[in-house]
Structures are given as structure tokens and as C-alpha cells.
Structure 1
Amino acid sequence: MEELDPSCNPLDPLLVDNKAAPDAPAKEVETPPAPPPPPPGPNAGFQDPNTFDIIRATQYGVFHRVRELVESGYDVNQMDHEDVSLLHWAAINNRTDIVNYFMSKGAIVDRFGGHLNSTPLHWATRQGHLGMIVQLMSFGADPSLRDGEGCSCIHLAAQFGHTAIVAYLIAKGQDVDMLDKAGMTPLMWTAHRVFGYDPSRLLLTFGATLNKADKLHGNTALHWACSVGNHIVIKMLLNKGADMYVVNHKGDSPLDIAISQCNAELVKKLRAMQATAQATKQSFLGKYAADKIFRRRVCYVFPFIALFLIGYIPEMSVAWGYKLLMFIPFAAATHYTMKHFVDEDAANTIPLAVYLSTKFWMYFTWLFYLLPYFGSDPTIHIIFTLNTLLLSFNFWKAWRTDPGYLKSNREDKIKTILELAETQTLKFEQFCSTCLIRRPLRSKHCNVCNRCVAKFDHHCPWVGNCIGANNHKYFMGYLFFLSGMLIFCLYGCHLFWSVNCPIAFYEDGITGVLYKLFKASPWIAWIGLNALFHIVWVSSLFVCQMYQISWLAMTTNERLNQMRYSHMQKMPGPEEGCKRDQGGHGHNHGGHGHCHGGKPTPKVVSPFNRGVVKNVVDVMGWRCCGLCRPLKVDWTTKFTLDSDSGPNYQASNFHAGRENYQFV
């Protein structure tokens, strides 16, 4: 295997020379189009639209002029001096009304033209006009036709990153592994051209073949991603099980490609993954380390053993030298376990296992160490038992309850894509490219669970589940009663220390106090330290959650990403807007309104806010024998705001079209 050569050329001819790679996109992919002529307007150089020729009128969408020229005898199928039809110009500029008119006059929908020898559907695909694609296909346009470079529409949509178009074409029956002239699949094109999660994630969800190789070079999608250093797609492919060792026609693996491109970071990453895989195979527990279920079980069990040994070894009545020797095999076992059994997937279970093990040893300490110090008063024991039962109930419900996963089968997904595309509402701000479903308000895709969750708050590793519409109230109960359990534990430790090692901070100092605590019982000190650590984050999280629920009426996701959601943007009202005055910069800002250049900008306000008390009641579902009336909302099917949210909220931009024209 080659080493990195500092003098190697990072520009592989495979990637930049169209002659070496005839399957690469056309040159205008690399070169931006020429600027359009000045639009019609009341300017000095204004040209009357009534004098436009039919090409210019079609480009600018001057429908009355187009109709006038066609009615006077112009043939809609006549090609211009660039061998381009009128339908091509209408398609690339998204002139839907003109396309309808041309089709009514007998325009050929699959006419090839231009120096790329492509159809109007190809032109619309390159520009990302989903609505135009739907319109042309309704007139019978064939998306499987190849242009002069051998690409069908799905290949063009993939290489230009038009995820919505890729989804629509697959929903209309295009093969997710369709080959172009050079044998490249859409997944290979996205790996090579699109530096982002979409549309690669969508193609993988639809079942794109990971290790298929193209005919010309023998490259897989992983080869193509490594050739351009596309780290996002590389990680996605490897997580899905792409083969790191497959070689192309030149005998190069993805690692060899990364070396030839002088991509030191990628080379280091791939070598580390190969070394880890090789070490796992060679270890005497290699077959177990390769088993995902076994790795997960190890991650559950290991924290129980580790927490016990860290507290028990110092508690042993042997010399400190022997205690230190005992930590050596423990440290070695820890290192081996973390190296061979804890991967990214298994690591997600560790926080939950830490919580369960900490809770187990705290209850063990309560029963066998601290219980005698509480005396015979049954009140505290009843409260402790009740808190334990409520904690266990809320934890179990938060852990095992479906948080609000959005469910859909393949037929429903296809139907949703077609419906949204054909109604011009297939925008990926409100469509999940992994689950292939329309996302309701307040929902989000969880990368850990790999599911979309209704009213998503966050993924909590301490309960091993997402917190969403169905289990948020149990999560709040879990935090509250867990705080109670930790307070009981700290109070028990205090009673133990007050009897066994009286403390005088003024005389002993901090170091003296710590010495006394650990000398009295290293185990109690260890448990107390754990309780102190957990009470900090648990109480802080509970307060933060209560603030978000009651005062802000937001989820954690909405609070962190509030500027990304248009339904959280409220435009200032008349009393808050920018008003002209005589001083300063010409206007003042009333209320919370802000402005830029005299235009008010929205402020972030939750449209779901019903007041502090009602907000809490809505989340917790409290009825109090009919005194409270929580608002019942099915967050799995709520896609729009209620009409009573107020007129000042910004209209959702989920369905806003993108203007992307090319006149010349």
C-alpha cells in the first residue's frame, strides 16, 4: 500500500478531464451560466415586450406575445439557431403556462436539442424545477431517456443535489440503481458531487446498492466519495456497511484513492477503521466483538462492574500497595473493553447503563450501609419507598413508551411523495429524506433512533429513548423523583459521616475533610460523590425543562433551532413595527420589534403558548378531577398552525418555490 507523497497532484485527471471520464457532468456544471439580459422594466435600455421575438418572449414568460406569434403561424416545434426548441426554453425557465400552451399546439415533449442533446425534461431537472418536471411528465415526458452524455433524469437530479426530484422520480418508478452510459448509479453521482446528507440518504433509504461498481472505472460509491473527500457521505456509506477493501479496475481500494488525493485526514480515518477491524479479528474474543448484540450486552454490564470495583477496592482491608496492584488488571480490562466492544452504536447504551448501575449501587448502599442511621421513624421510610415506586414507574414509561414515532410503509411513502410533488409542496424543510414521510409540526428525525418523532424534544441517553409527544410527562416525572432519590442518598451519607467522622471545616480545611470522608468509608464517599454529580445535572435539566415548558412553550429542539422554523417567527404588530421619527436613524423600535433598513424582522415566539399554567397542564396531561382541561393534540398528524395563532405569524415557507432561471 502506498504512503502519502507530498508531491502528489490532488487533481486526479479522472475527476477533471471529461475525456478521461466521459461519465462526468457537462462542462456547464463547473462553469456558471452567462448572466441573463436585463429584465423588462422602466429603465433606459428597456425593450418593449411587444417587440420580443418568440425565443425571448418564452424565456421571460411574456405569454401574450408568445400566443400572438404562434397564432400568426410560428411552428412551436421549430428549432432555433442553437438547435433548441421553444419547449426547452419554457422548461428551463419554469414557464408553466407557456408549456401548457405549447403542448396544446402540438409541441413534441421529448424533443432532443442543444449541445448536450437533451430533452426539456433534462433541462428542467438540471435547474431543479420540480413543478415543471411534474407538468412535463403529465404530458408523457420520459425520464429514463438519456441525454448526449448518457445520463437520465435521475442521474442529473442526483449529481445536482435535487433531492425532491430524486424522490419523485423513484416514486414514479425509476430504478434507484439505474445505470448511465458509464455504468454509474445515482448513489455514485451523489457521493461524487453532493457534499451533504441528501440525496444520498434518500437513495440508501430506497435500497440503493452499496457496493455496485461502475463499468468504466470499477469504482463503487465509496471510491467516488473518497476521490473528492466527501466525509459526510463516506461516513454514511461505512455505517451502512460499504466494503472498505473492494478494488476498482486499477486495483485501488478506497484507501488507495484517498492516498492518491493527498487527503491525510481521510487516510488516517480509513486506516484507523481497518486497524480496529483487523485487531478485532485477531483478538481471542474477536468473534464476540463482531457480534452487535454481545457488544451491547457488554456495554450494559461493564458499568455495574466498574462502579463496584472503583468503590470496593479502596474499601478492602488490605495494604494500599495491594489495592493499587488490583487497579492494574482493572485498567487493562477497561482499555480492552473500550477498544474492542464499544463502538458508536454500542456507546449509545452506556449512559443508560451508568444510570441503572448507579441507581443499583445507591440502593445497595441504602440497605446495607445507611438504613440503620435513619432510626425507627416510619415516615421517612414510607416517603422513600413511595419515591422509589414513582421513580421506577416514570423511568420505565419514559424508557419503554413509544415517544411518538411516525409510521409509514413503502406504499404510503410513495403516495406521500407523489401527492406532495404534484401539489407543489414537496420541500425538504418538511419532508424527511430518511423516513420518506411528511414531517408534522414540531417533529424531527432522531439520528440515534433513526426515526422521526412527533413533538420531538431531544434524545435522552439516560433513558435510552427519544423524548416526544407520548413520554415527555414521564420524563419530567423521572427527573423529579430521581432528584428525590439523590437527595435521600446524600442525606443518608451525611448521617453516616456525622456519626463516624465528625467534621470541622474551620479546623480541618477542605483537604482534611476529604481525607476524613474517604478514610471513614471509601465506598460511602464514592457513592456520595456519584450522587453529588448526578444531582447537579438532574436538577439543572429539570429546571431547564420546566422553564421551556411553562414559560417558552417550546421543546428543546425548537429552542435550539428556533430560527430554522418559520412557524416560530412572529412579525411585529403595528405597535411594535418600525416607525418614522425625526431623530436617530429615521425610525424607532417599539416593543420587541427589530428592523433592518426600515423593514421589521420577526421575533421568536411560540405559537403554542397558552400561558404558564396551561402549558404545564398540556404537557403533563393533568385533569385534577376535571378542574384542568389539557389541550389534546395529535402531533403525528398536525401539519399546519391553527387559525387562532394570530395573523402576525410568518406564513410557512415550507412550500415556497425556488426561482432558478436560465435565459441563455
Structure 2
Amino acid sequence: MEEVDPSCNPVQPLLEGGSGGTATTGEKQKDAMVDLQPGQEDYSNYDIVRAVQFGIMARVYELVEGGLNVNEMDRENVSILHWAAINNRLDIVKYLVGKGAIVDRFGGDLDSTPLHWATRQGHLTMVVLLLGFGADPTLRDGQGFSCIHLASQFGHTAIVAYLIAKGGDVDMVDRNGMTPLMYSSYRVFGYDPTRLLITMGAGINKQDKVNGNTPLHLACQTGNTCVVKMLFDKKADLDILNAKGQTAMDAAAEYKHANIVKRMKQERADRGLDHTNFVSKFTGNKNTRTRVMWWFPFFAVYAIGIIPELSIPWYYKLILALLSAGIWKFLQMFFFDERLMNIVPVSVYLSSKLMMYITWFLYLLPYVEMTWTKTVLFLLNTVLLCYNFYMAWQTDPGFIKSNREQKLQTIIDLAEKQTLTLNQFCSTCLIHRPIRSKHCSACDKCVAKFDHHCPWTDNCIGAYNHKYFIGFLMFLLCMLSWCVHGTFAYWRANCPFDIYEDGITGILYKVLKTSPWVFWVGANAMVHIVWVTVLLSCQLYQVVWLGMTTNERMNHGRYTYLSGNYPQSHAHGHSHGDDKECKHKVKNPFDRGPIRNLIDILDLQFCGLLRPNRIDWMNLYSLPGHKTPSLGKMNFGVSRENYQFV
């Protein structure tokens, strides 16, 4: 094998040609691919290469049975099997191998095997077939790439998953010491297959033997922010030096990726690196910042209401207000980060709720005519609100779990059934996703019957806590209504007003002068009523009237089972022009009518009169009434004994 110049970038040659080699080779392979069937032509004059490219089985059979050597190489040093592999001609490959074609024959300018050619083009079915016939995925082509390197750099996630599931080394190195993760970090600007490789245990801190770069160095060189974030989440080492003596942040700076440099500095601060004193170490601690952001709404909500309420001169109030604003700016500067809007909603809800209950008992209760019935209803509403919020907050929404052996077996089964696509397979959790499920990026897990991720409960809403979420919204709306009712009762008793006599400004002056705290609480309650009413109405409309989840309603075009044409290869069951908007009507197979939908979502049952339709959403992979295909039978005409589970 030829020596490699240590000064060169081992991935740079990949950028010079369309197929990972020279431009000439890339053009040849592109020309070799034929997707369209020709018209009514006379195939009798086709040579073997053209017949294979067009998939003319009859002509291939005629030539081979007439004495053609199936292992004969053409003038470009390419075998017939290569042409069949790159054009994904499964039947022709079966026939040629049956006639003695050498599966691992090297050929072409890149000195590669048919398996390499199929891998470059992303033909998963061909890869499965060739492996079944004994092709060796660990063989390296003329550039030193094995199949997993090719699949990784071209973003063929399904092939990467299958090769690893069949026992491939997730950290296999090419002749330059580059791993699959390094190639995907450098070349693929998206989550996959990098996310899959990390999940499968790829070494995130390995260095190539030429330039000493880690996957993080390579992602920083190309400005691959998506991969950089994933490597941060997996705690990639930030201090490793490459052959130039550069850290990953130095590499990002050299290539002028300022946004990545900024993120790198933040990540180093989160990990407590580069701190010179106790203060910087304290403010840079991620857990400390999380606690500060979580508790900040309690301070802010009460400060806004208490300072105007105090019986002190106005200039003291002004000083306290300025001091509070200074504290807010200080916290914003040293403790708040991009996670703020993911952390504060729960604490905003809890602080607002506590404030309203305190106000109810200290200010409003004496002015509300609380009969025995009202008292019971108020206490019952309080108990049910707390219960439903806690259950929506803490209940497992339906996180789908599996062990490593199950994950690998799932990959093999889906690939061999020709159904290993990212629509059915989660490249993070490495599972066969049940119907109506979705991967939540916030929780980083797949959720059965996924509705949405709710920041107000800091949890996903799915199969097992959806009813609690709806209950939470219903009883929260009742509690807010109680609060508004008490606020107006307080105002009627302490500052009667008339809209025609006082006007809006006069009313505001009266209520603020009477009690700024009660005004602040009442304003909060009325604002919360608006969004809770809207959210509850949307939820009830979706789950009761439509029988759909929020995710399905927002993304119905992605799901074949909502098209009424299940199953279909097209994303929503029919075809239309690329520039034409899809206006098809959604047909939901899970809609059982408003009453039964309500019974199902709330899981109501009563003496056989109310009977919810209970479905195991964790294990439902096809529509009810549709037979789930068996995963134990091969579709390629290849003995399953050729596949060994590792």
C-alpha cells in the first residue's frame, strides 16, 4: 500500500470527486447507473454490460448460457457483478453468483469490490444480498476504505447500522487511521449517521494517525455545528491536541467558525475549565446555573408584586426596584444560558400557582361568599389539580426501551425485510419505532403515541400521561377562574368602579392604589386563562373530534396511515408534482368518534357501559386489522443461515 504524505488532510481527497475518488471515476460510476427502462427496443444487440445496466434479465441469461464467462473483466477492468451491484439489479446478482461469479472481485479505478460499489450508492438491499452471498465488508478498496467508511462519509445511515449489527467494528480504521465517526463528523452535516455511530459506542476521542484529529477537530474544521453539539453532549475531550498542537477550539478559530468558538467557550465554562478564581468557577458551574434559573421566577414574580405593595416612601420602592433590576441583569449576565426557556416554565407555573393560593387565603377569601358546597369544590379542584400536574410531570409517558441485543436484531430484521428506513427506525434509540411514536429531542428518547414535549410539565406527553395532561389543563383553568372571581370580589368591596364613569385609566388607578399585589395576581390569572383555554381547546379538538395527537396533526403529511392508503411507499399515499401543494384529505384510522375518543383518551370505564379501546402503543407496528409482516423470513432468496447475529 502506498505511503501517505503526513502533511495532507486524509479526508481532503474525498472532496475532489463525486464518489469519493477522482472526478473521472465519479462520472464513470454515475454513468453506470441506469434508473429508467428504455422503450420498446431490440435488446438482442445489447452487450452484457448494457443488458445488466438496464436490467434486461432475458438478454443476460441468453449471453451467459451462450458461454460468456461471468467473471470476465471489461476494458475498464470492471466485472459484470460490479455493474449489477451499482444498478441494484438483485435478480441479476442472484443469477450471476449462481453461475460462479466471484463476489469479492476487485476492479475499476478505485480497485473496489461490488459491495463497495453498492455501498457508495446507498443500495441497502444489494448490500444485504451480497453479504448473504459471503461478501466481505472489511475489505479495503484502493483508497483504503472499507464499506463502513464509505457508508459513513456518504450518509447512508441504514447501511452503517446494518454493517455494525452484522458484527462490523464501529471503530474500524482506514489506512490513514480514520474511523467512521471521523468521516461522518467531517462530511455529513446532519444528525445521522453520526448519532447512530455514537449510540453504537464509537470512540469519540480517537485520533487519526496522520493529522492527529479527533471527530471534534474535524467537525470544527468544517463548521459542523450539529455534530459539535452531539459531541459536547457526549462529553468529548476538549483539550486533545492534534499534530499541529491545536485543540478543537483552535481548529474552529483557524477556519473562522466564530459561532463554534463561542459554543466551545461556553462548553468549557460548563465543565469548569479555564477558571482562574472561585467566582468564575462558581458562575461557570452548569448545575449551579440550572438551580439559579429554576429559582429565579420565584424571586421575580414576588418582587414585582411585593415592592409596590410595601408601605414605604416611593423613593425606597424605586431603590428596591432598581436593586431588583440589577440582580436580574447580574443573573442574566453570569448564570442564564440557552437552556433558560427549557428550565423556567415549570418554575413559572409553580411560583404563579403558589402566589395565587397565598393571595386567595390572605386577601381574597374574606370577600368571597364561600358556602359549604363552594368550599368542597375548591378543595376538590385543588387536590385534582395537584394530582394531575404531578402525574403529567413525573409519569413515564411511554419511553420505549430495549437492550443492545434487541437493538441489533431489530436492525438486521428491518434491513432484511427491506424496511430499514428512518421513518421506522430511530437512529438514536436503535429501535423499530411503533406506529404513532416519535423521538423527542428534548428527552432524547422515543415516546409511544407521542403528542408533544410540554415545557410546563418538563416532560413528554404520550401514551401513559396524556389523560393527566388534559386533566391538569382542565383543573388549572378552574383554579384560575376561582382566582379571577376572588379578585373581582375584592375589587367590588374595596374599590368599586364603573367602566363608563371611570374609564380604563381610572379603573387601573383605583385597583393599583387599593392593592398592587392583588392587581398583579389578577393580571397573571387572566393572562394564564388565555393560553390555558387555547391549549385545552386545541387538545380537546384534536383528541376528541379528530382522534389525533398534536404531532400527527402538525405533521400528518409524513405518516402514511393518515392518508387512507396504507401501506404506501409515497410519504402520504399518493403522488403529485414536486411544486404542487398536497391538498389531500386526512383519514385517521384511529378516529372512533368523539364520544369513544374521549372515553379512550381519559381511559374511562363503568360497568361495561364505558369501555375504552386499550392498545399497547409500545408494541403496535401496523394498523389494527393489517397483518404485521414476519421478520423471520428473508425476502432476497438467500438462506438465513448465511447471516450470523453478533
Residue 182 (structure 2) pairs with residue 188 (structure 1): yes
1:118-151 deviation digits (Å, cap 9, x = unpaired)? 1111111001111111111112211111111111
Contact 1:365 1:524 in 2 (8 A): yes
2:314 is aligned to 320
Q: Structure 2 length normalisation: TM-score?
A: 0.88
Match of 1:490 among 484, 493, 501: 484
Provide the rounded CA distance (Å) in 2 between the counterparts of 1:457 and 1:152: 41
What aligned pairs does 1:144-163 form with structure 2 within 5 A after superposition? 144-163=138-157
1:273 Cα shift?
Answer: 5.4
Match of 2:170 among 163, 167, 176: 176
Residue 66 (structure 2) pairs with residue 69 (structure 1): no
Provide the rounded CA distance (Å) in 2 between the counterparts of 1:607 and 1:288: 54
1:571 Cα shift?
Answer: 6.2
Residue 510 (structure 2) pairs with residue 528 (structure 1): no
Residue 631 (structure 2) pairs with residue 636 (structure 1): no
1:180-223 deviation digits (Å, cap 9, x = unpaired)? 11111111111211111111111111122222221112222222
Contact 2:32 2:83 in 1 (8 A): no
1:6 is aligned to none
2:443 is aligned to 449
Residue 501 (structure 2) pairs with residue 475 (structure 1): no
Match of 2:84 among 76, 87, 90: 90
Contact 1:159 1:190 in 2 (8 A): yes
Unaligned runs of 5+ in 2: 1-6, 567-573, 628-634, 637-646
Provide the rounded CA distance (Å) in 2 between the counterparts of 1:264 and 1:13: 25
What aligned pairs does 1:247-286 form with structure 2 within 5 A after superposition? 247-270=241-264, 281-282=275-276, 284-286=278-280
Residue 13 (structure 2) pairs with residue 18 (structure 1): yes
Query: Does 1 or 2 have the higher relative contact order (CA < 8 Å, sep 6+)?
Result: 1
Match of 1:359 among 353, 358, 366: 353
Q: Which amino acid aligns with 1:619?
A: I
Does the residue aligned with 1:348 lie in a helix, a strand or coil?
helix
Match of 1:34 among 31, 35, 45: 31
Residue 290 (structure 2) pairs with residue 308 (structure 1): no
Does the residue aligned with 1:452 lie in a helix, a strand or coil?
strand
1:483 Cα shift?
Answer: 0.3
Contact 1:304 1:354 in 2 (8 A): yes
What aligned pairs does 1:85-484 form with structure 2 within 5 A after superposition? 85-270=79-264, 281-282=275-276, 284-289=278-283, 291-345=285-339, 347-375=341-369, 377-484=371-478
1:231-264 deviation digits (Å, cap 9, x = unpaired)? 2222222233234444321233334433443445
Provide the rounded CA distance (Å) in 2 between the counterparts of 1:351 and 1:392: 16
* Bigger shift: residues 141-150 or 222-231: 222-231
Q: Residue 412 and residue 40 in structure 1: after superposition, are their counterparts in 2 closer, same or farther (change >3 A)?
A: closer
Contact 2:217 2:251 in 1 (8 A): yes
Provide the rounded CA distance (Å) in 1 between the counterparts of 2:535 and 2:364: 28
1:89 Cα shift?
Answer: 1.3
Does the residue aligned with 1:219 lie in a helix, a strand or coil?
coil
* Bigger shift: residues 239-248 or 58-67: 239-248
Q: Residue 112 and residue 538 in structure 1: after superposition, are their counterparts in 2 closer, same or farther (change >3 A)?
A: same
Does the residue aligned with 1:34 lie in a helix, a strand or coil?
helix
What aligned pairs does 1:581-592 form with structure 2 within 5 A after superposition? none
Provide the rounded CA distance (Å) in 1 between the counterparts of 2:167 and 2:159: 13
Unaligned runs of 5+ in 1: 1-11, 573-592, 646-655, 658-664
Contact 2:10 2:210 in 1 (8 A): no
Q: Which amino acid aligns with 1:34?
A: D
Q: Residue 143 and residue 345 in structure 1: after superposition, are their counterparts in 2 closer, same or farther (change >3 A)?
A: farther
1:537 is aligned to 531
Q: Residue 346 and residue 208 in structure 1: after superposition, are their counterparts in 2 closer, same or farther (change >3 A)?
A: farther
Provide the rounded CA distance (Å) in 2 between the counterparts of 1:153 and 1:360: 60
1:301 Cα shift?
Answer: 2.7
Provide the rounded CA distance (Å) in 2 between the counterparts of 1:450 and 1:135: 33
Q: Which amino acid aligns with 1:297?
A: R
1:310-346 deviation digits (Å, cap 9, x = unpaired)? 2112211111211222233333333343444444457
Does the residue aligned with 1:466 lie in a helix, a strand or coil?
strand
1:334-379 deviation digits (Å, cap 9, x = unpaired)? 3343444444457523211111111111111111111111245222
Q: Which amino acid aligns with 1:514?
A: L
Contact 1:213 1:219 in 2 (8 A): yes
Match of 1:617 among 599, 603, 606: 599
**Count of paired positions:** 612
Contact 2:153 2:188 in 1 (8 A): yes
Q: Which amino acid aligns with 2:587?
A: V
1:3 is aligned to none
Q: Residue 628 and residue 414 in structure 1: after superposition, are their counterparts in 2 closer, same or farther (change >3 A)?
A: same
2:508 is aligned to 514
Contact 1:486 1:535 in 2 (8 A): yes
Q: Which amino acid aligns with 1:425?
A: T
1:535-574 deviation digits (Å, cap 9, x = unpaired)? 11111100111111122221100111111112112369xx
Q: Residue 315 and residue 115 in structure 1: after superposition, are their counterparts in 2 closer, same or farther (change >3 A)?
A: same
Q: Residue 295 and residue 137 in structure 1: after superposition, are their counterparts in 2 closer, same or farther (change >3 A)?
A: same
Contact 1:280 1:289 in 2 (8 A): no
Does the residue aligned with 1:178 lie in a helix, a strand or coil?
coil
Q: Which amino acid aligns with 2:404?
A: R
Runs of 4+ in 1 over 6 A off after TM superposition: 19-22, 275-280, 593-601
Contact 1:14 1:20 in 2 (8 A): no
1:662 is aligned to none
Q: Structure 1 length normalisation: TM-score?
A: 0.85
Provide the rounded CA distance (Å) in 2 between the counterparts of 1:336 and 1:241: 28
Provide the rounded CA distance (Å) in 2 between the counterparts of 1:417 and 1:186: 18
Does the residue aligned with 1:604 lie in a helix, a strand or coil?
coil
Contact 2:9 2:211 in 1 (8 A): no
Does the residue aligned with 1:626 lie in a helix, a strand or coil?
coil
1:508 Cα shift?
Answer: 2.6
Provide the rounded CA distance (Å) in 1 between the counterparts of 2:26 and 2:34: 21
1:451 Cα shift?
Answer: 0.7
Provide the rounded CA distance (Å) in 1 between the counterparts of 2:394 and 2:260: 39
Contact 1:431 1:437 in 2 (8 A): yes
Contact 1:195 1:230 in 2 (8 A): yes
1:599 Cα shift?
Answer: 13
Q: Which amino acid aligns with 2:13?
A: N
Contact 2:473 2:536 in 1 (8 A): yes
2:561 is aligned to 567
Provide the rounded CA distance (Å) in 2 between the counterparts of 1:86 and 1:289: 65
1:274 Cα shift?
Answer: 5.6
Contact 2:249 2:264 in 1 (8 A): yes
Provide the rounded CA distance (Å) in 2 between the counterparts of 1:270 and 1:347: 21
2:641 is aligned to none
Contact 2:34 2:53 in 1 (8 A): no
Q: Residue 69 and residue 208 in structure 1: after superposition, are their counterparts in 2 closer, same or farther (change >3 A)?
A: same
Q: Which amino acid aligns with 1:568?
A: L
